[in-house]
Amino acid sequence: MPRLSDPLDLKSLHVRNRLVMAPMVTGLARGHRVSEAQIAWYSARARAGMGLVIVESCGIAPDAVIMPNLLGIWDDAFIPGLARLVKGIHKAGAPAVLQLVHGGARSLRENLSVERVGPSAVPVLPGPPPRPMTEGEIQDVIAAFVAAARRAKTAGFDGVEIHAAHYYLLSEFLSPYTNRRTDRWGSGRTGRTRLAVEVVLAVREAVGPDYPIFCRMHAVEFVEGGLSEVDARYAAQALADAGVDVLNASGVGQSSFGEWEGQPYLSTSSVLPKGAAPGTFAPFTGHLREDLGIPVIAVGKLAAEAGLAQRLLDEGQADLIALARQLIADPATGTKLLEGRDGDIRRCEECLACFAAIRKGPIKCAVNREL
Ligand SMILES: Cc1cc2nc3c(=O)[nH]c(=O)nc-3n(C[C@H](O)[C@H](O)[C@H](O)COP(=O)(O)O)c2cc1C
């Protein structure tokens, strides 16, 4: 069984140990472009031991961004800034993968009267339901992912990650809760998985056989009527068969139903609730990994308990361990874990001040005062 400090080689990508910086919107981009503060943010975490950095969600179209200060990649003009970011991360010692997102029915809008699109008219935010996408719009999304992946490769990223989690567009197509279509983009597992698979096939064609493609999707959803474990296993296999090299398994840690003008809307979160045990997603991730034949990344409070990250590797529940909020609280968590200095880690208090901050501006943290 691998040690946390063991490398993992994957096509052209050398991951120097099993710790991955999970993608996290920082709110540090300016006009959707990379800022100096952002380069410093990622470099600090790369320097402090992380084996691989997955850079935060980057919007593939101007009407598909998910936060006000999101990175963009819908034009070649974004490439020089992204290239400077990659250079900074490489200089700090880690490879970098860029996550690509279309926000779908959770895309940012100035006000509720501006339309959102999704697979079906099922709201996942307060406001009018999204408009079901046309065939032409679906083809445009595939083309936008392809163009974005090409730009990421040109900028020097060591791979791209297709975001098919967290109830953004591709995840909305995967979920039976949000995908009620009766055409070939819905109606059954094959139909619901089609868009994510078509995106992967088209991106693979564009970037070539040796360029690593990651895909983030849910191992589990704590959502009534959402993606089941059987759905997740089906989708993971279909994505691996289509050419995904690494499956970044996330989850919906909590969900509830709100009400807007008498209509229910689904509200979801990628983080586990405060009371949930560290590693709650891991057994589901382990099931997904069985027989899949490609490396799988686990996430979910995995530095909150001494020895947990190594245990997940020992038990075969994951090949790589992703950390998110803990790296906001203590950028040096990676080094401390690798050196067995768990006691020195400045702990994330799970207050979610980070999430609240990025909806308005730059990221903040209750325990990391340097921010
Ligand atoms: C501030 C913040 C921003 C996030 N942004 C992203 C993102 O851009 N893409 C993504 O896939 N997940 C995003 N996530 C989810 C994390 O990658 C991770 O899955 C989640 O926080 C659970 O891991 P943790 O318990 O280690 O924090 C974000 C989480 C936080 C707290």
| pLDDT given at position 105 | 98
Residue 302 lies in a domain: yes
Residue 1 lies in a domain: no
CB atoms within 10 A of CB 275: 6
Residue 367 lies in a domain: no
Instruction: Quick: pLDDT tens for 276-325.
Output: 999 999 999 999 999 899 999 999 999 999 999 999 999 999 999 999 99
* Cβ–Cβ under 8 Å, residues 116 and 133: no
| pLDDT given at position 112 | 87
CATH number at residue 350: 3.20.20.70
* Cβ–Cβ under 8 Å, residues 74 and 112: no
Residue 72 lies in a domain: yes
Taking the centre of ligand 1 as the mean of its atom positions, its distance from the CA of residue 299, in whole angstroms, is 9
56 lines ligand 1 (CB under 6 A): yes
144 lines ligand 1 (CB under 6 A): no
What does the block give as tokens for 287? 């099931």
| pLDDT given at position 13 | 96
Residue 89 lies in a domain: yes
Residue 363 lies in a domain: no
Residue 264 DSSP label = E
Instruction: Quick: pLDDT tens for 19-30.
Output: 999 999 999 999
Sign of CA pseudo-dihedral 240, 244, 249, 252: negative
Residue 365 lies in a domain: no
| pLDDT given at position 343 | 93
| pLDDT given at position 86 | 98
Residue 61: give the domain boundaries. Answer: 8-358
Residues 136-169: b if buried by 16+ CB within 10 A, e if exposed: eebeebbebbbbbbbbbbebbbbbbbbbbbbbbb
At 58, which helix (H) or strand (E)?
strand 52-59
Residue 326 lies in a domain: yes
Taking the centre of ligand 1 as the mean of its atom positions, its distance from the CA of residue 270, in whole angstroms, is 7
CB atoms within 10 A of CB 9: 8
| pLDDT given at position 371 | 81
| pLDDT given at position 44 | 97
| pLDDT given at position 1 | 87
Residues 6+ apart with CB under 8 A from 159: 13, 95, 97, 98, 211, 212, 213, 214, 245, 246
22 lines ligand 1 (CB under 6 A): yes
Tally of domains within the chain: 1
Closest protein CA for atom 14 of ligand 1: 24
Closest protein CA for atom 4 of ligand 1: 24
| pLDDT given at position 111 | 87
| pLDDT given at position 365 | 97
Mutate to test the pocket of ligand 1, among 45, 73, 325 (most ligand atoms within 8 A of CB): 325
**Which stretches in the chain have pLDDT values below 70?**
none
